[in-house]
Amino acid sequence: MRKITAGLFISLDGVVEAPDQWHFPYFNDEMGVAVDATLRAADTVLFGRKTYDSFAGAWPEREAAGEEDAGLAKALGDARKIVASNQKLEFTWRNSEQLEGDLVEAVTALKNEPGRNIALSGSVSVVRQLLAAGLLDELHLLVHPIAVRKGMRLFDEGDSPVPLRLISSETFETGVLNLVYAPAESTGEASYEDAKAHLAQPER
């Protein structure tokens, strides 16, 4: 079964909206390698419509310009791109198609197809739905050392917690944390009485 990985730029206070307004001062070679590795490990990229429109409005031109990011632009262009939307879409970016039918059912079928990883970049609403459905395998968070203080956050209000386990962590020179999580089983019930046994005891 194919693995689905989601990558997001996120602020210290959990904001994922409009990273173009606060993210770029932290982009360095280390982050470039991390982003490139996630996308190049995939042969399919899954998008929400807004994120796709943003990518389609920029990356084909970057590929045509032939500058430093042309290699990544070509890799994105060559990848199969699938867009989840309730509206009927038309595409000009090559290898783009619309996800047909129910999101969870269609992505489950995608996971069972032969191929390499399926990547998501941004597309928060899709990430939330796949997490809730147990279809997301890895959540790659590039946590920026800034509190944006406004905008949509990765996790919205809800009744059920979302337990995760840390797979790997790395600190970049800019202070950005590269954290990779996977879904985890519920942590179960506990109280302060259970926790206090782990408190450091004063020296005598």
Q: Is there a domain that residue 12 lies in?
A: yes
Q: What does pLDDT average to over the chain?
A: 93
Question: According to the model, what pLDDT value does residue 61 have?
Answer: 94
Q: Is the pLDDT reported for residue 179 higher than 80? A: yes
Cα 179 from Cα 127, distance rounded (Å)? 16
Q: Is there a domain that residue 69 lies in?
A: no
Q: Is there a domain that residue 32 lies in?
A: yes
Cα 17 from Cα 9, distance rounded (Å)? 9
Q: Is there a domain that residue 74 lies in?
A: no
Query: What per-residue string of b and e applies to 124-133 under the rule 16 or more CB within 10 Å gives b?
Result: bbbbbbbbee
**What CATH number does residue 127 fall under?**
3.40.430.10
Question: According to the model, what pLDDT value does residue 161 have?
Answer: 87
Average pLDDT over residues 109-132: 93
92-104 confidence digits (pLDDT tens): 999 999 999 999 9
Q: Is there a domain that residue 72 lies in?
A: no
7-30 confidence digits (pLDDT tens): 999 999 999 999 999 999 999 999
Tell me whether strands 177-183 and 96-98 are parallel, antiparallel or unpaired: unpaired
In a 13 Å sphere around the CA of 101, the CA atoms on its Cβ side amount to: 7
Q: Is there a domain that residue 134 lies in?
A: yes
Q: Is there a domain that residue 128 lies in?
A: yes
- The contacts of residue 127 (CB under 8 Å, 6+ apart) are 6, 8, 120, 136, 139, 154
Residue 176: φ, ψ to 5°: -70, 135
156-176 confidence digits (pLDDT tens): 887 788 899 999 999 999 999
Q: Is the pLDDT reported for residue 6 higher than 90? A: yes
Domain of 103, in residue numbers: 4-51+80-185
Task: Please report, in angstroms and rounded to a whole number, the separation of the first and last CA atoms in the chain.
Answer: 56
77-90 confidence digits (pLDDT tens): 999 999 999 889 99
Edge-first strand listing for the sheet containing 138-144: 96-98, 80-84, 42-48, 117-121, 4-11, 138-144, 177-183, 164-171
| Angle, vertex CA 197, rays to CA 196 and CA 199, nearest 5 | 65
The domain tally of the chain equals 1
Cα 77 from Cα 70, distance rounded (Å)? 10
The structure tokens listed for 176 are 């950005």
Question: According to the model, what pLDDT value does residue 191 have?
Answer: 86
Q: Is the pLDDT reported for residue 184 higher than 80? A: yes
